[in-house]
Amino acid sequence: MRKTILTLIMMLALLAPASAMAAINRPVTVNLSPTAINIGTLYDGTTLTVTGDAPADCEVVVRFQGPPEELHMKEKGKALNLLWMNKGSVTFDNVPKAYLVASSKPMEEVVGPDSAELGLSTMAEHIEVQGTDDDKAMLIGDLLALKGQEGLYAEQSRAVTYGPEQGNRRTYTATLNLPAKLAPGSYTVEAVTLKNGYETGRTQQQTTARLTGGPAMLAGLAFNHGALYGVLATVIALLAGLGVGLVFQGKGGAH
Amino acid sequence: MSIPMHLYLPIAGNSVNVLGILGLGGVVGLLSGIFGVGGGFLMTPLLIMLGIPPTVAAASDSNQIVGASTSGTLAHFKLGNVDIKMGLLLLVGGIVGGTFGVQVIKVLRAMGNADFLITVTYVLMLGFVGIYMFIESIQSMRKDKATVDEVPAKSKPSRYSQIIQALPWQMDFKRSGVRLSVLMPLVLGTLVGILAAIMGVGGGFIMVPVMVYLLRMPMHVVVGTSLFQILFTCINVTIMQSWTNHTVDFVLALLMLIGSVVGAQLGTKVGKRLGGEQLKILLASLVLAVMTKMLYELLVRPDILLAYAGGH
């Protein structure tokens, strides 16, 4: 009997810290709002809110990433040492369609061996450049700048906020600004927890951006029935031109 | 505000400000109605600045020009400013030249450095045409204010007019009030078609001076006839681009169209109030402004040395 009680006490003693550990180690959760990105007639970019809870002593970094693709671009150079114009073409490989990173403070401050891996600069190291002998670092820098202008690549610091601590856990909310330029397709949202710059856990979820309503109809017609689409576009333009011409003629009177 | 300010364009893959595009269309339509140029030279780069991919910008602009030039042609037709016979001959030449020009550019590209050659030729030609028109109009405005509306008649036949009168198959073009060989519009149309295809522009900028100086048509008939011809060129481009490259964004084109048809109607009325020489000076200034902008872009280092493939 005594043995049994002793064993129970020992087991409880062992279990107590273990359950506390479990609360800390339970991986970060990820909830998306909205769950899918609908690109309708009035779509002008949107805000994706990522919420969940994570160990209280960890920083949460949220990453929104599109699949890698190959990109063909034109490169400008100086002809005859005088005029800037398109000189050659460059092919980039392994370029993510989108790359948005949200953190509670600037990435340099969360920095550590693992958090650095999440930043734009490390992602850029995986981009390959083909078809040119020019300075690759400069070309990749330009590519990042171009994608940055389009809002497709960004490090959004102060985009993660935390709720109050509750039993070693706290909630987090990340707000990601998705640009109008976001292409339809599937994207990965990841929440990574970091302690002193080292990764302690990671949870990921898929989301899809798709055309709906008017844009979906138009794109379907344009890509599947190109010739019909072209004729329709021409006829409508012709009729609009004629219609407006007649309206103005009526108003202006005979000349 | 309850009125949506932005619309999403599925082919362009971006959203645009509705009022911005309407305004842009209005300005370009105005120029098109006044001068008989398509306006692609102005519209395409502005659309690219608003985040539209270059190929989509150029193709959708052609779709828009179909509507604008219909409206403009109709207005000019009612004023008796369209020389259909001349327009059709130029058009036939233009189609032949355009087809040939596409082949020429393939050969040039294969030889390398074609882009350099094309851009420099284009800038030089715009500069030459602009300056020539400008000086010529000022001189003729000073010389005889009485015949402002007429193309300056030379007192004695120049070698050029002797040559064109010696050509076979002479024909009367009543609307334009000229008698020319059928070969003239056909050959010149072909040349402009080749140039337009090589430079990736509609050709209005080259066609208008050709009609004024080489075919010696009166300025008002030039504008109407140029619009008539542009209409057919752009119908062809819109259908071909939709069919083969899927780059025509109809929503974008329609927005620009609403602005530009209104602008084109106003432009036609403005053009009617201006004299032929005034029109020429304004067009010359516009040509020179475009040239200056191109030259500036060529000389100043761009911020970003990369561009999406597919522009001119």
pLDDT in tens, B266-308: 887 888 888 777 888 888 888 888 788 878 877 887 777 777 7
Which residues in chain A have their CB less than 8 angstroms from residue B272's CB? 255
How far does the CA of residue B76 sit from the closest CA of chain A (Å)?
10
Q: Which two tokens stand for residue A9?
A: 């006490």
Better-scored residue on pLDDT, B49 or A12 = B49
In chain A, domain spans: 22-210, 225-252
| CATH class of the domain whose range is A22-210 | mainly beta
pTM for this structure?
A: 0.74
Kindly report the CA angle at A235 between A234 and A241, in degrees rounded to 5? 90
* Amino acid identity for residue B230 in this structure: I
CA distance B305 to A84: 9
CA distance B225 to B207: 10
Provide ipTM, 2 decimals.
0.73
What does the pLDDT average to over A41-62? 91
pLDDT digits (tens, 9 = 90+) for A147-170: 998 899 999 888 999 999 888 899
pLDDT digits (tens, 9 = 90+) for B120-151: 777 887 788 888 888 888 888 787 555 544 44
**pLDDT at residue number A188:** 95
How far lies A94's CA from each of A119, A129, B90, in Å?
16, 9, 49
Closest CA to B30 of B223, B202, B210: B223
> Residue B53: pLDDT band by 50, 70, 90 thresholds?
confident
Better-scored residue on pLDDT, A25 or A28 = A28
Most A-contacting residue of B2, B65, B71 (CB-CB within 10 A), to test interface: B71
Residue B149 CB neighbour total at 10 angstroms: 11
Upstream peptide bond of A164 is cis (omega within 30 degrees of 0): no
CA distance A131 to A144: 18
Under 8 Å between Cβ of B149 and B218 = yes
CA distance B114 to B105: 8
CA distance B256 to B222: 25
CA distance A153 to A127: 14
Three-state DSSP class for residue A203 = strand
CA distance B223 to B100: 26
Under 8 Å between Cβ of B187 and B92 = no
pLDDT at residue B119 tops 80: no
Better-scored residue on pLDDT, A184 or B234 = A184
**pLDDT at residue number A182:** 92
Q: Which two tokens stand for residue B130?
A: 């602009």
> Residue A10: pLDDT band by 50, 70, 90 thresholds?
low
Three-state DSSP class for residue A206 = strand
pLDDT at residue B312 tops 60: no
Q: Tell me what the pLDDT averaged over chain B comes to.
A: 79
How far lies A103's CA from each of A64, A117, B247, in Å?
12, 13, 38
Most B-contacting residue of A44, A234, A242 (CB-CB within 10 A), to test interface: A234
Residues 111-130 of B with CB under 8 A from A: 113, 115-116, 119-120
Closest CA to B251 of A52, A211, A17, A68: A211
Q: Which chain B residue lies closest to A181 (C-alpha atoms)?
A: B14
> Residue A114: pLDDT band by 50, 70, 90 thresholds?
confident
